[in-house]
Amino acid sequence: MPLFRCPSRECVLNSKMSMVLFASVLRVGDGLPLSASTDYEQDKGLQETKKHVKALSKKLGQFPDRCALKTGQYNINFTSSLGLGYLMVCTENYPNVLAFCFLDELQREFIITYDNKRVNSAVRPYSFIEFDNFLQKTKQRYNSPRSLSTKINLANMQTELKLRPTYQLSPEDLGSINNFSYRTASKYKGIAPSQQLEPVCLPGVVSCVLSILCGGLNLLRGVHAIESVMQNDDHEDFNYVIAFFLGTAACLYQCYLFAYFSVWRNSKSFLAFALICLSNMYLYELRNVWQILFHVTVGAFTTLQIRLRQPQGKAPDYNV
Ligand SMILES: *[C@@H]1O[C@H](CO)[C@@H](O)[C@H](O)[C@H]1NC(C)=O
């Protein structure tokens, strides 16, 4: 078994192996990632490097079409053409010419597989998920050079590299990017772009606390209702249990909606509010008017606060 076949983290760290660790394809215009290799390495240095990758992705259009950046023990290599960027992270001792071939191969395959229209119409990150496979396979091939059949081109590539050397990005080029990278790191972790909500305000916090209180009250009464079901075996009591618990769920769900961004957030909060109203209507006999008024008012107040706390701008991820 050749040494370089071992992709585990220990190997990367322990031996001075040369390997490709990560690859991705992105749209140069806005830095939207289209496809990426899966990687399992949790190495800290690599995570740092990927922050640079994300930050650089967004500025790709401002750099020459072939550029590179050295970060710690890893290299980041980019090429871009026809509005698409191809990027890889490899160990610092990975052969230059192979890195170049690797990117070239990605580029050729991507161009023949997808047309411009498809690229331009992509809205969500990583929507070319079928290409991940190719990235992964190519990465593996380039990590076991014995199985590599591109040797014939190496001479050509070497010449090409000599004639038109890669532009080395310097820390100055990164300047503004650097701070930026830490702020936007982890934005692309999920499949969907995560959006940040506006900062919380005092009324919002109050509404959330009141909601939790209402949820707690519902829960308490629900538990009591369970006890009386056990004692009386009464069907109506059982319905009360459900109504109380639904009320609890709706209150807590509203808190969640207030705290985090999700799609259809406003509609969901209305539904939760409707559920609060319904459960209180059903529980009419068990509560006095003031209690019901309190629950419904808190529900309405929280719904309003959810509505008022909007995402910060639209998709802050890729407005370059
Ligand atoms: C890849 O990145 C390294 C580090 O910046 C650089 O020295 C090398 O020339 C790059 N290779 C290619 C093919 O661009």
- Among 75, 107, 153, 164, the mutation site with the greatest number of ligand 1 atoms within 8 A of its Cβ is 75
Domain ranges of the chain: 3-184, 202-308
**What is the three-class DSSP state of 87?**
strand
Q: 81: which 2 tokens?
A: 């053409």
What local confidence, expressed as pLDDT, does residue 152 receive?
A: 55
Contacts of 94 (CB under 8 A, 6+ apart): 18, 19, 20, 75
What tokens were used for 93? 């001792």
Q: DSSP code of 186?
A: T
**Of the residues 96, 97, 103, 167, which should be mutated to test ligand 1's pocket, given the most ligand atoms within 8 Å of the CB?**
96
pLDDT of 231 reads 86
Query: Could you give the CA distance from residue 258 to residue 264 in angstroms, rounded to a whole number?
Result: 12
Q: Which atom of ligand 1 is nearest the CA belonging to 78?
A: 14
List all residues 6 or more positions away from 24 whose beta carbon is below 8 Å from its beta carbon. Answer: 33, 34, 35, 36, 37, 53, 86, 87, 88, 135
Check residue 175 and give its pLDDT. Answer: 61
In percent, the amount of the chain with pLDDT more than 90 equals: 41
Give the closest residue to 300 by CA, choosing from 275, 265, 282. 275
- Per-residue confidence (pLDDT) for residue 230, from 0 to 100: 86
| The predicted structure's pLDDT at residue 5 | 43
- Which pLDDT score, from 0 to 100, does residue 200 have? 85
99 close to ligand 1 (CB < 6 Angstrom): yes
Q: What is the pTM of this model?
A: 0.53
- Cβ of residue 75 lying under 6 Å from some atom of ligand 1: yes
Q: How far is the CA of 19 from the centre of ligand 1 (A)?
A: 13
3-state secondary structure of 11: helix
CA–CA gap between residue 52 and residue 70 (Å, rounded)? 10
Within the chain, which residues score under 70 in pLDDT? Answer: 1-16, 40-42, 145, 147, 149-152, 174-195, 313-320
Looking at residue 294, what is its pLDDT?
Answer: 95
Strand 167-168 to 66-71 pairing: parallel
Q: Is CATH 3.30.450.50 what the domain over 3-184 is classified as, yes or no? A: yes
Nearest CA among 143, 199, 164 for reference residue 17: 143
Q: Identify residue 252 by its one-letter amino acid code.
A: L
What distance in angstroms lies between residue 35's CA and the mean position of ligand 1's atoms?
A: 22
pLDDT of residue 149: 64
What is the predicted pLDDT for the residue at 156? 83
